[in-house]
Every structure is written in structure tokens, then in C-alpha cells.
Structure 1
Amino acid sequence: MNVSLLLIILLVGAVATYLAGNKLASKVALLFSLASLGCTVVLLNHFNLGQNISFISQWITQPKVSFALQADGLAIAMLLLTTALTPIIIYASFANTYKNAKAFYALVLFMAFAMCGTFLASDGLLYYIFWELALIPIYFIALIWGNADLEERRKAVVKFFIYTLAGSLFMLVAFVYMYQKAGSFLIQDLYALDLSATEQLWIFLAFFLAYAIKIPIIPFHTWQANVYQKAPTVGTMLLSGIMLKMGLYSIIRWQLPIAPLAAKEYQTIFISLGIAGVIYGSIVALRQKDLKKLLAYSSLAHVGLIAAGTYALNLDGLRGAVLQMIAHGFVVVGLFFIAEIIFRRYQTNVISEMGGIRSQATGFASLFLILVLASVALPTTFNFVGEFMVLYGLSQINIWFALLGGTTIILGAYYMLKMYQYVMLGETNTKKFAEVSVNEAVTLVIIVAVLFFFGMYPKPITDLITPSLENIITQINRIN
């Protein structure tokens, strides 16, 4: 099957959404996002039947660049995450009113197009183009439709844009260097390069800078909290739910197999950076008074653990990292949507201005509590599966890594339950809090259902990603 069909659907959808006008834009965007999900399910079916899912065509003759797309189990898992969350995010926004809605929703679909392209690209330069394209729509979404003062938004978004663009340029230099040695940007040719230990170290660091900023990993995280807070909730959900996974996915797909010697030599350092993010993010989250900022630092802590799992360089660590990427995507989208629902009623994200919501909206309180418990990896939820496997993978390297990484569960339980207590319990706010609408309930129930289903039965995803991860482990271990 020609995998480029998925990209065509999303790109055509972005154009059609813009042409549909402001009144119909959200519905047209939802229709095309659902079509992309359907296409991904068809791709999965073809993959399970053993059919080749790829597309390759010579694009540029000199330098030799191919429009090469390849979908293995790992890529399909990330496509499912992207195309499942995109319609959820669009549908969740139906209660909001956006100026120039046609441009807003067109940018959302274009961002989904770029992210899917990043997961599918098997040519280094094509991958880099999709990687950078994903930055453009989120820049405008956050700048034009964001919260707070325009000048504050501009500062936060420009910092984010410059950070990510500058880091990515180092990755581009690494690709150009490898092209000069391989004569090709195709991933299999880059995998086959016989690079010295010094060459691998510089290439590894060039990739790391791009990925560490995007994920983010401390100390490259300084853009994150402000952008998450000031972007519209749709933008925050796209950033936290999907876009940061581009960096985590790319560590597994590009960085580790191309520079395995550097990954092994400096493994302790990069695992330590990930775990430092767990502890730092959790401690800073404890001090937050703004709900969106608290969730931003919570996300920082969780992705720090995922990053540590990727650098474990064993199958359990990688498999747990991928499972946790998907689980975190659904949980964080649900939690930021919770923050959006509260903002719709109270017009504030300040935790101290909330309280007593449970007595007015028991259904909302119940759904919120489930998401909080999923976030702290309660058994039977999807997050528990991913975090347990990551910690098991880290324990195979050093038991202290697992123990320190496990603080995300303890600290996370403390600050998340404390936040829930202040927001939902206590004295009733003088403002009335309406129970969730049908739109809000459907969105939250879908997310909760996914978290419980795969928390109790993760086998379909595990079976999907394991062969790809085994191939990557083989590639990493090709040089002892």
C-alpha cells in the first residue's frame, strides 16, 4: 500500500478546511482527521498481513534525495497516536470560538501532516524537512490564538522557535556530513556507515541537541512551561501529546542506530539527564500556582523518564519508552483538556481561585480523578505498563537508575493529588461550575477508555512495536 496516502489526506484536509470558511472549518477538519485515522487503521491491517508499506521516489538528483517513506511497527504506533489524538483534540475544541477559525484548524491539520511525515520519513533530508515543517503551524497557533498579553506570547513563542530551530541546524550539519560519506540520505545507507568513535560522538551530540530541546530534556527545557501556559489549549495538547514524541521517537529511529558507540560510551550521562528531569520537574511542579504550568512540569518529569528508558539500550527499556510515549500522549491531552474545561467556567488557571468543584460536578470530578490516577501510574492504567517496563529496563543497567526514576511515581502522586485536592475539594467557589457537556464528556470518556483498555491489555501495541525495536537493538549491537 502507498503510505503517502495518509499524508495526502492530511494535506488536502488542511487546504479544504481553509477553503471551507470559518463556520464549517472545525467540522471539515474533524472529518479529515477521522479519515486519516481510518487510513492509519488500514495501513495497520496491511502491515499485519505482511504487505510492504512504503513509498520511494527520486526527488532531487544532486544531491541525491529521495521522497522515501517507510512504515514499520514503530512508525505505525506513532501514526496511530497522532491520528487518534488529532480528532480528539479538534473535537475537544468545538466549544471554543476562534477568530479566523479556518486558518486555525487548517494549521492543526498541517501540523498533523508534518508530524506524520516525520514518523514516516526514511530519507534524512526529507525527515529534516518534515521535522522543521511541524514547527511552523505551532508557532502561529501559539502566537495568534494564545493566552495572555501579545508581547508575553511573542517572547515565549520566539524563544521556543529560535531554540528548536538552532538545535535542529546541528542535526542538519550531521546529515550533510554523513551524506558526504554515504552518498545518500537513505536511512539504511546511514545505518551502514562505518563511522569512527569520534565521528559517532559528534553526530550523537548533534542529534541530541535537536532532540533534547524538542522533548525537552533538562537543561534544554527553559522554553517549555511558558509556551505550554501561553499557547491555546489545542496548541498545548498538540505540543505535549504528539510533538514532543517526535524527539523521543527520533532517538530510537535515528540517533541510537547511527551512533551506537557513543550511545554506549556515554550511556550513564544521558540516562542521568533523563532522571534529573524526573526529579527536577516533580519538585518544580510542587511549587506551581498555575494549573497549566503544573501540568507542564509534570510532563517534563514524565518525558525525562521516557528519555532515560530510550538510553537504556535494551529491549525492555525501549519497549517501555514507546508504550509510555503513547500512554503519556493520551493522559496529558486529557489533563490539559481538564484545565481547559475549568478555564471555560472560571476564566482562570490559578489553583487558589478554584475549589469545591466536586460538590457541583461529580461526573467531572470522577473523570478528573481517573486521569490523575492514570498520570501517577496506577495499576490497570496504561501509564503503569510503560513506566514499569522502563524502570525494569533501567534496573538492568543499574538498580539506582530504577530507584531514582521511580521517584516520578512517588513525587507525582504527591503533587497531583495535592493539586486535585485544592482544585476539586475544599470550600465551594462562589462561581457555579456546570457539569460536563456532551462534547466534554465524550472526549474525556474516550481518553479514559483508551487508558484502561491498554492498561489491562497492552499486547496489541507490544506485538506491533517489538519486531521493529528488536531490529534497532540488533543495529545498535552490530559493533561491540
Structure 2
Amino acid sequence: MMTALLLFWPALAALLVLLVKGQGAKRVAFIAALVEFAIALFAATTFVVAKTAPQFELSVPWVERAGISFSIGMDGISLLMVLLTTFLVPLIVLSSFKHDYKKPNAFYALILFMQTGLIGVFVAQDAFLFYFFWEVALIPVYFISAIWGGARRVAVTFKFFVYTIFGSFFMLAAFIYLYFQTPATGIAPHSSDINAFYQLALDTNTQSWIFWFLFLAFAIKMPVFPFHTWQPDTYTEAPAQATMLLSGIMLKMGIYGVLRWLLPVVPSGASQWLDVVLVLSIIGIIYASVIAIRQRDLKRLIAYSSIAHVGLISAGIFSLTEQGLQGGVIQMLSHGINVVGLFFIIDIIFSRTKTREILSLGGITQTTPALSICFMILMLGSVALPLTNGFVGEFLLLSGVFQYNYVFGAVAGITIILGAVYMLRMFQGVMFGTRSPETEVFADLTFNEKAVLIPLVIMVFWIGLFPSTFLDISEPAVFNLLNIIQKR
């Protein structure tokens, strides 16, 4: 029942928020998101780390005669993604308090509905249920971006929608095919249960095309080069809170899909294309980093940096090593924390100066000690400074890639240098130097802004100094995943 409560509470809260008029909706949404985080923390305290099987399971027939069930549960990987989601959503809601959005009850209800979709993706144990929540998570963020986004919001959001739906159709086609390959279970001719998919004995050629059908859907969502073109425009035009949801949590759906559904279901198909995927991932790292160096808009710079980070996560996961998979899981947490913090700081700067152009900024650190410290810590976490969260994930990911192929590892390692270049140049241009007319009067962080950034800063050091807190949770699930892949 714990998983069911985590899944349905945000949806119920969203319905309640819709009934609240005016700015009270944001407070109700924030309280509801905090309650969801408290439930997730309670689940984490009662979670048995040593177990590899999903816990807090609930399975009831959905379409019984077709073998489709409403089956949910959490293993260590799922739990960490649920904790990330429930930790970030209240901070994202709180970060919006300084904005007066039109129809606030609809805005905050959509955020909570999206949280339901995100949680559903991370806990689904049935293929069609996974697909259902995959689409559910897309709809709220589409409307948030299209209604409350920038001047080009409609065209940009439509492009994002088309890309995602296009990939989803391939995933659905693959799931339907896999469903019809499963044996009968009781009165049902087939099953869409995840374990039934894991036990399929498909020939290598069949696994090969299924691999590309699934990979396309997940690669678009992550996004991996060359399926990334929707991302910079969408991140730039979407309102700050939608950008945080997209970058901090939603792209993790694609990475999670690779771990949960692609690699263990079609391992032989994946093994045929590992070199291709790693090459695409590494190209994405270099390409996005070079483009990020040339950016002058803060939001676009962080958008391209996100593509580079995801490229490294993809490369590490497809190395199919323990270090690569563990690095991918921990880096999902670290990237979510860092990117949400950086996008929020950009929103703070834009709200005070009405510009995101680096050349129009400067000298902000002279009057903002609190903002400067938070910005610096999150930036250093993003460039993987030792003792910060980014270092743990990147070290494990690069170790995994080196084990797979030392040439790939050496090229992928360039991300550390390039990341330092564009992040340090950005920080220097924005925070140091001479004040510009836009930054002549610049107030330091408010209480609400500190309440958002301080928990993120704490997590940067917690993961960096005590990574075993999180690696121990995911380790049994990662070992189990590797065993499934290697036995098939």
C-alpha cells in the first residue's frame, strides 16, 4: 500500500488544488508535496536494502482477460528515483512563490498531476502500465510549457510533443510485440508483467530491432545525440518550474527505462549495438560541451550542459559494468539536484535583471554573499569537484567506460575539462567583474529562495561525502539487473 499511497496522493492533492482559488493554491500544493516527500522518507526507512525483489508491491487485475495488471512496487533503483522526485517537487513548487501565474490552481494542479505520472513510471511493474504513466507524465508538462511559457512557447512545445509521441509509438509497438510472445497465464492468453518479459527467449535478430524501437523512445526523452534537438528550445521557452521538472526529473524517465526495460529485456540485441550507442553518447558529450562554451544565454548553456551530462550517463550505463550502472544511478540523483539548483539561480537572476545574457551581467557577487556561495557550490558539483555529488557519479561512469574500452573512456573523460571551461566561464562572467546597468542594484537571496537552495546545497555535500548512503540502496538492484542481463 505504501507505493499506492505515493502514487495516488499527488493526484488527489491536484484535484484539491483545482478547487482552491487565487494564490492559496500554491500553499496547498506545497503542503501536499511535502506530505508526499514525508511518505517517501517513511518508505525509505522501512525499505529492506538487502532484498533484490520489489517491495511495497500491489498487483490487481486491470484487464484480467488480457493479462494486464495494475502492478506496482519498488526496488532500490525505483526508491532512489521516487526519493529524487518527491524531494525536488516541493522545492520546485516553493521556487515559484515569487511568480504570480495566471490561473495558479491549474498551474499547481498540473505539477502534482505530473508528479503522479513520474512516480508511476518509476514504480510500474507492468509494460502497459509503464507506458500509460509515461504518457501521463507528458501531458501536464506540455500544458505548463504551452500556456505559461515564453513567446515561442507554442511552436517549441509542439515540437517537444511530436518528438516524444513519435518515440512513444515505437515503444508501444515493441511492448505489443513482446506481449504476444509471452505464454498464457491462467485465463489470459498472454502477460505484460515485467518478469514475463524478462523470461522471454527471443532470437538475436528479433532482439536487435526491438532494441532500436525501445532505445529510440528512451533516447529522445533523455535526450541522447542526435535525438536532442527539441531540448534546448524547450528548456529555454518553458517557465522555470517546467524546465526544472523536465531537466531534474523527466529526463530520468528515459535513463530509468533503459535500466528497467531495455537492457534486461533484450540484452543480446543491446550487445550488438553497444559500440554504436557509446559512440553516439560520446559524440553528444563533446558536441553539447562545445556548443555550451559558445552560448551567451544562461538557460541555453545549462540546457546543453545537461545533454553532455546525460551523454556520459548513457555511455556509463551501456558499458554494462557494475561501476557504470551504479554511476548512472547516482549521477541521476546528482544531476537532478544540480540542474534544478542552477536553473533556479538563473530564474533568480532573470527576475532581478530581466536578462539571461552573460555579457549583460557581472559583479553580482559584490552584494550577494548567500547567492554567490550557493551558486558556486552547485556549479562545482556540476563540474565534478571531489567531495561534491558530481564527482562520485562521474568517477564511476568513467571507470565503467574505461573498463569497456579505454579509448572511449579517454575521449569521454574530456567532458571533465570542457565542463569546467563552460561552467567556470559562466560563473566568472555572471558573478565577477564590473557591474552592468542590469546588476547595479541586485538584492541577495530572500528567505524562500534560501529555503529552496540550502537543501540542494546540503545534498551536494551529502552525496559527495557519504555516497554509500545511496549506493547501498541501489547496489542489490544493480547486481540483480546485471545477473538478468548476463544469464540471458
Shorter-chain TM-score category? Answer: over 0.9
Q: Which runs of 5+ in 1 are unaligned?
A: none
Q: After the TM superposition, which residues 271-420 of structure 1 pair with which residues of structure 2 at under 5 Å, given as runs? A: 271-420=278-427
**Matching residue of 1:19:** 19
In structure 2, C-alpha distance between the alignment counterparts of 1:266 and 1:135, rounded to whole Å: 28
Deviation of 1:441 (Å) = 1.5
Give the letter aligned to residue 347 of structure 2.
E
Give the letter aligned to residue 313 of structure 1.
L
Is 2:116 the partner of 1:113?
yes
Q: After the TM superposition, which residues 144-159 of structure 1 pair with which residues of structure 2 at under 5 Å, given as runs? A: 144-147=147-150, 149=151, 152-159=152-159
Match of 1:217 among 221, 224, 228: 224
Task: Give the match's secondary structure for 1:379.
Answer: coil
In structure 1, C-alpha distance between the alignment counterparts of 2:13 and 2:22, rounded to whole Å: 14
TM-score by length of 2: 0.96
Q: Which moved more, 1:355-364 or 1:160-169?
A: 355-364
Deviation of 1:472 (Å) = 0.6
In structure 2, C-alpha distance between the alignment counterparts of 1:94 and 1:23, rounded to whole Å: 9
Is 2:142 the partner of 1:135?
no
Judge conservation of contact 2:208–2:272 (CA < 8 Å) in 1.
no
Give the letter aligned to residue 444 of structure 2.
E
Judge conservation of contact 1:82–1:112 (CA < 8 Å) in 2.
yes
Deviation of 1:445 (Å) = 1.2
- 1:201-250 C-alpha deviation (Å, 9 max, x unpaired): 11110111101110000100000000000000000000000000000011
Match of 2:58 among 55, 58, 68: 55
In structure 2, C-alpha distance between the alignment counterparts of 1:318 and 1:24, rounded to whole Å: 43
TM-score by length of 1: 0.98
Deviation of 1:184 (Å) = 0.7
Deviation of 1:90 (Å) = 0.7
Q: After the TM superposition, which residues 69-84 of structure 1 pair with which residues of structure 2 at under 5 Å, given as runs? A: 69-84=72-87
Give the letter aligned to residue 96 of structure 1.
H
Deviation of 1:22 (Å) = 2.4
In structure 2, C-alpha distance between the alignment counterparts of 1:367 and 1:191, rounded to whole Å: 44
**Matching residue of 2:470:** 461
Judge conservation of contact 1:46–1:53 (CA < 8 Å) in 2.
no
Match of 1:439 among 436, 442, 448: 448
Judge conservation of contact 1:382–1:455 (CA < 8 Å) in 2.
yes
Give the letter aligned to residue 445 of structure 1.
I
Task: Give the match's secondary structure for 2:116.
Answer: helix
Q: Which moved more, 1:118-127 or 1:35-44?
A: 35-44
In structure 2, C-alpha distance between the alignment counterparts of 1:167 and 1:52, rounded to whole Å: 30
In structure 2, C-alpha distance between the alignment counterparts of 1:181 and 1:473, rounded to whole Å: 23
The alignment of Structure 1 onto Structure 2 pairs a total of residues equal to 476
Task: Give the match's secondary structure for 2:364.
Answer: coil
**Matching residue of 1:3:** 3
**Matching residue of 1:161:** 161
Deviation of 1:53 (Å) = 1.1
Give the letter aligned to residue 462 of structure 1.
L
**Matching residue of 1:170:** 170
Task: Give the match's secondary structure for 2:228.
Answer: coil
Judge conservation of contact 1:37–1:80 (CA < 8 Å) in 2.
yes
**Matching residue of 1:179:** 179
In structure 2, C-alpha distance between the alignment counterparts of 1:340 and 1:23, rounded to whole Å: 20
In structure 1, C-alpha distance between the alignment counterparts of 2:290 and 2:22, rounded to whole Å: 43
Match of 1:68 among 48, 65, 71: 71
**Matching residue of 2:94:** 91
Q: Which runs of 5+ in 2 are unaligned?
A: 183-189
Task: Give the match's secondary structure for 2:62.
Answer: strand
Aligned-residue identity in percent: 45
- 1:269-316 C-alpha deviation (Å, 9 max, x unpaired): 111111111101100001111110000000010011001111011111
Deviation of 1:52 (Å) = 3.7
In structure 1, C-alpha distance between the alignment counterparts of 2:23 and 2:218, rounded to whole Å: 38
Q: Which moved more, 1:186-195 or 1:22-31?
A: 22-31
**Matching residue of 2:206:** 199
Task: Give the match's secondary structure for 1:218.
Answer: coil
**Matching residue of 1:43:** 43
Task: Give the match's secondary structure for 2:69.
Answer: strand
Task: Give the match's secondary structure for 2:227.
Answer: coil
Judge conservation of contact 2:384–2:394 (CA < 8 Å) in 1.
yes
**Matching residue of 1:31:** 31
Q: 1:2 to 1:447 in 2, by over 3 A?
A: closer
In structure 2, C-alpha distance between the alignment counterparts of 1:381 and 1:67, rounded to whole Å: 39
Task: Give the match's secondary structure for 1:70.
Answer: strand
**Matching residue of 2:186:** none
**Matching residue of 1:423:** 430
Judge conservation of contact 1:357–1:429 (CA < 8 Å) in 2.
no
**Matching residue of 1:248:** 255
In structure 1, C-alpha distance between the alignment counterparts of 2:367 and 2:76, rounded to whole Å: 45
Task: Give the match's secondary structure for 2:250.
Answer: helix
Q: 1:52 to 1:154 in 2, by over 3 A?
A: closer
- 1:73-103 C-alpha deviation (Å, 9 max, x unpaired): 1100100000000011111111111100000
Judge conservation of contact 2:231–2:303 (CA < 8 Å) in 1.
yes
Give the letter aligned to residue 337 of structure 2.
F
- The 4+ residue runs of structure 1 with deviation greater than 6 A are none
**Matching residue of 2:457:** 448
Task: Give the match's secondary structure for 1:3.
Answer: helix
In structure 1, C-alpha distance between the alignment counterparts of 2:84 and 2:282, rounded to whole Å: 25
In structure 2, C-alpha distance between the alignment counterparts of 1:62 and 1:436, rounded to whole Å: 57
In structure 1, C-alpha distance between the alignment counterparts of 2:41 and 2:405, rounded to whole Å: 39
Deviation of 1:19 (Å) = 1.0
In structure 2, C-alpha distance between the alignment counterparts of 1:327 and 1:459, rounded to whole Å: 14
Judge conservation of contact 2:10–2:116 (CA < 8 Å) in 1.
yes
